[in-house]
Amino acid sequence: MSDDLLRVEHVRQWFPLRAGLLFDRTVGHVRAVDDVSFTLSRGETLGLVGESGCGKTTLARTVLRLLTPTGGSITFQGQDVTTAGRRDLAPLRRDAQLVFQDPHASLNPRKCVGDIVSAPLKRQGVGKAERRARVGELLELVGLPASARSRYPHEFSGGQRQRIGIARALAVKPKLIVLDEPVSALDVSIQAQIVNLLDDLQEELGLSYLFVAHDLAVVRHVSDRIAVMYLGRIVELSPAEELYHRPIHPYTEALLGAIPVPEPRRARRQRAVVGGEPPSPIDPPSGCVFHTRCPRAQAKCSVEVPPLTQYDGGHAAACHYPLNVTEAQIAASTRSPDSPEAAGDVTPEVLPVAQSA
């Protein structure tokens, strides 16, 4: 059996823009996710980062088939679920769960915690006595007392409510949990507690995580690999520590430069300033989607889409003029199998090596 739990290949999620008297004409599309490919191994955490509006959450919901992709394919546990119907999606619904960003809005205020956590079990036909025992186990597993089952969501703090959401996701013993910015609505001290809880649960239960966030400082502590998204595309994919020490794409360097540091005067990394606003996904730029804001952009960037090129150390980036890469590394680089241009014959252009930050 392959170690790949999830395989996403050239997935697109375009939303139609309609106009006309009865809104019956499609006049354009919002390209929320545009040709994204990646794999997720069993027991691995893949961080998915990027600024607001880059398509992270849309991609996460598409992977779970809460949205039907416009194109591409999604394979989960060896089964193609891209166009699967409701009945065929039942195993995916059980084995892949979602933890939402807002721990308050994701819990029904009219139901007690016991009913909320046991809802997936009831859906699976588990008996009442077994559900009650299982709810107590789940609450204790996430650091809450079993007696919390009789209380309501408003009686808990934000961090405790997020623990309830995690307990609900664990109820049906999933293999994959998609975490949609699970700590962004929490205080910093509570964020650390939830991150540590997720680490402990992964080690104990053998879970795989797709961790969606905009905060690279948080993602670093939980991820084995990190994918950086910009305007619906993955522009860099790398092992976590490799990404932090040697960013290849200029956009990644800008994200890293935006991480707050406790003592700015001692910070070694120079901030890479990126001006302007992200372009509209309705009318994305030609060529490299980042070229309108990139300080290294040249004429080639506006006309030619950069392939996702594989460098050493499992590091891939889609950039014509990469950072922190030697001429020898560029010469030895190959197209990533995930890249739509992998079969092409364009060779990355050799530039002087940028100084490491």
- CA-nearest of 186, 251, 243, 192 to 222 is 192
Bridge partners (DSSP) listed for residue 76: 6, 79
Interval 299-321 mean pLDDT: 93
pLDDT at 20 over 90: no
Q: In what order do the strands lie in the sheet with 71-76?
A: 25-41, 4-19, 71-76, 79-80
The one-letter amino acid at 233? R
Instruction: Tell me whether residue 175 is in a domain.
Output: yes
∠ CA 125-105-183, nearest 5°, is: 100
CATH of the domain at 208: 3.40.50.300
296 in a structural domain: no
Q: Which residues of 156-173 are buried (b: 16+ CB within 10 A; e: fewer)?
A: bebbbbbbbbbbbbbbbe
Alpha-carbon distance of 139 to 228, in angstroms, equals 34
Whether 185 maps to a domain, the answer reads yes
The C-alpha R_g of the chain, in whole angstroms, comes to 22
In a domain? residue 178? yes
The two tokens of residue 151 are 């209380």
Residue 323 lies in a domain: no
pTM of the complete model beyond 0.85: yes
Q: Quickly count: other Cβ atoms within 10 Å of residue 64's Cβ.
A: 21
The structure tokens listed for 227 are 């994918």
Is the pLDDT at 352 greater than 60? The verdict is no
Sequence-ordered alpha helix ranges (H) in 279-347:
327-332
Residue 43 or residue 330, greater confidence: 43
**Number of neighbours of residue 241 by Cβ within 10 angstroms:** 13
pLDDT of residue 343: 40
328 found inside a domain: no
Tell me what pLDDT residue 275 has.
77
Q: pLDDT at residue 345 above 50? A: no
**pLDDT tens digits, 237-287:** 999 999 999 999 999 999 988 887 776 666 666 666 777 788 999 999 999
Mean pLDDT within 91-116: 92
In a domain, 104, yes or no: yes
CA distances from 157 to 31, 110, 145, 163 (A): 37, 17, 14, 10
> What residue numbers bound the domain in which 80 lies?
4-223
Average pLDDT score over the chain: 87
Question: What would the pLDDT profile of 154-190 be if each residue is shown by its tens digit?
Answer: 999 999 999 999 999 999 999 999 999 999 888 888 9
Mind listing the pLDDT tens digit for each residue in 67-90? 999 999 999 999 999 999 888 898
Q: How many domains does the chain have?
A: 1
Instruction: Report yes or no on 168 lying in a domain.
Output: yes
Residue 239 CA to residue 226 CA, distance in Å, equals 6
321, 349 in Cβ contact below 8 A?
yes
